[in-house]
Chain A
């Protein structure tokens, strides 16, 4: 796979921690960053899919808010419930 170069600015403190980790793991800094980025994107993609399924089940009334909290955590569950509420109002009232 062709690799492309990406420039990212990070704080000196973060770079210091990255250097320490690279020494400990005997890895290149760029490899650590690539692995971290891959892991982050994988987790975000999985989370979106989980949220999609859970939001659908919650909107259908198949799971309770408490169950939503258990799966997504309190903050994400509240955001999901908020979105469904605002979406319901949009279908019911339009812009009124």
Chain B
């Protein structure tokens, strides 16, 4: 299973402690701007900065390959106040490599790209979907999934409130 991930979902999964285990289920690929964004974040000494450094190591070791964009005009056409270069490149990477899963935690960008994603048969997912899938495939235990989701609730800003409600609704043990 192949998926493209944006910077925010990579950081969320790393901070939730399951990015490395996600690689057992998914082949994650990224465009160059996501790597550049991670390099920028890694300059800070906070939790996100540390997470970015660890993700950059995975990229360096080719565990998360970086793919090149073939047609940058497509990227330019997607740019807006809600869709930045990183997210636009993620979307174009899906189109050019026929990758049907795009994991994106940036709500503004996902909302803007929703229509185009549907037309092009690209499934837009948030990083919680990765935790659920890992649990379904028994790559992580239910206990580990619950712990990761609790961390995710604290990491995400306003979205955490809604995630907490949904976790209680869909996961009996939560």
Query: Interface on A for B, CB 8 Å cutoff?
Result: 48-49, 51-53, 55-56, 58-60, 78-80, 82-84, 86-96
Selected contact of A94 from candidates B133, B157, B167, CB within 8 Å: B133
Q: Which residue of A lies closest to B114 (CB)?
A: A82
Consensus secondary structure, chain B interface: helix
Kindly list chain B residues whose C-beta atoms are within 8 Å of the C-beta of A89: 125, 129
* Residues 153-174 of chain B, each 1 if its beta carbon lies under 8 Å from chain A, else 0: 0000111111111110111000
Kindly list chain B residues whose C-beta atoms are within 8 Å of the C-beta of A86: 110, 124-126
Count the A-B residue pairs with Cβ separation under 8 angstroms: how many? 87
Kindly list chain B residues whose C-beta atoms are within 8 Å of the C-beta of A56: 161-162, 164-165
Query: Interface on B for A, CB 8 Å cutoff?
Result: 1, 3, 26, 101, 107-108, 110-111, 114, 123-126, 128-130, 132-133, 136, 157-167, 169-171
Closest 3 CB pairs of A and B: A56-B161, A90-B129, A94-B133
Q: Nearest chain B CB to A74's CB is how many angstroms away?
A: 13
The reply to whether B111 and A52 contact each other, CB–CB distance below 8 Å, is no
Q: Nearest chain B CB to A17's CB is how many angstroms away?
A: 21
Instruction: Decide yes or no: A58 and B132 within 8 Å by CB, A82-B114, A92-B170 being known contacts.
Output: no
Kindly list chain A residues whose C-beta atoms are within 8 Å of the C-beta of B107: 79, 82-83
The reply to whether A94 and B132 contact each other, CB–CB distance below 8 Å, is yes
